[in-house]
Each structure stands twice: as C-alpha cells, then as structure tokens.
Amino acid sequence: MHYMLRGLKTLRHLEEALLVLAFVGLVGLAFLQVVLRNGFGTSLIWADVAVRILVLWVTMLGAMVATQRKKHIKIDLAERLFTPQHYHYIRGGGLFVASGLMLVVAYYCLEMVRLEYEFGTIAFATIPTWVCQSILPIGFFSIGIRFFVQSCLYLRGQR
C-alpha cells in the first residue's frame, strides 16, 4: 500500500511538471513566433502546428490535474436538491458513469492513435502524428480511473 501511495504521488508530480513544461513551451513558442513575424518578417515553418499540439497537451494535462485535485467541472444541482445522506450516492453514481464514459473515449482515442501509427503520418518536422495524439488516450484513461476511484470513495461515504 505504501508503494502504491508513493507511486500515485510521483505520478501526480509528473503530471504537474509536464503541464508546466507544456504550458511554458506553448507560451514561449507562440511568443517567439510573434517576435519573428513582427520583428524580422520570418517564422518557424513548423511552429504553428506545434503550438496547436501543445494546446491539446496543455488541455489534457490540465484536465488530468484538475481531476486529480477534484477541481473538475461538476453540476451541483443534486447537492442542493438532496440531503447529504443521499447526495453521496448520487455523486458516486455520477462519477461512476463519467468514469465509464472516459474509459470508452480512451479506447476510441487509442484506436485513432493506432491508426495514425499504421499510416505513419508526420505532424511536423520529423515527429509522427501518433506521438502528438498519444496524450488523448493517456489523458482520458487517467481521468476515467480517477473518476472511478472517486466514485468508490463517494459510494463508501468517504470523500
């Protein structure tokens, strides 16, 4: 159990570090493009595609971190309508359904990445498209697993 908790803590720190790295790269590359275009009349030919891909990575990593911290978007109407004794069952059930949906989406994203791998398309420079898209199945799987764990905790009366 101790090793699992250490592993989850390490994973949390890794996700947060990757988020910061991707965000700094995104802002830095976009700023560099603006300076190159406006100051020197040139640009990096691959940078616009790389910025779009970094937006995807920042979005997915941000969603993973938000889910990890239980700061994801939720509708709190049920919390207002039901007593606290009943709310944890409704919240737990909702998280369970969300978990299932995220895992289904992760599966189809994995299929998309597999097809991109087979096609061998290049996103920019020499980086394959499947590498750029790999954050999708990873992110949705991570979110799905976290929702499942949160669901179990709610259904057991814990938060």
Contact 26, 58 (CB under 8 A): yes
Phi and psi for 137 in degrees, rounded to 5? -65, -35
pLDDT at 1: 57
User: Is the dihedral angle over the CA atoms 73, 141, 15, 70 positive or is it negative?
Assistant: positive
pLDDT at 42: 96
pLDDT at 80: 80
Run means of pLDDT, 10 residues per run, the chain, 159 residues = 74 94 98 96 95 97 94 79 83 94 98 97 94 98 94 82
Q: How far apart are CA 92 and CA 154, in angstroms?
A: 5
pLDDT at 51: 97
Q: How far apart are CA 64 and CA 147, in angstroms?
A: 10
Of 61, 51, 45, give the one whose Cα is nearest residue 29. Answer: 51
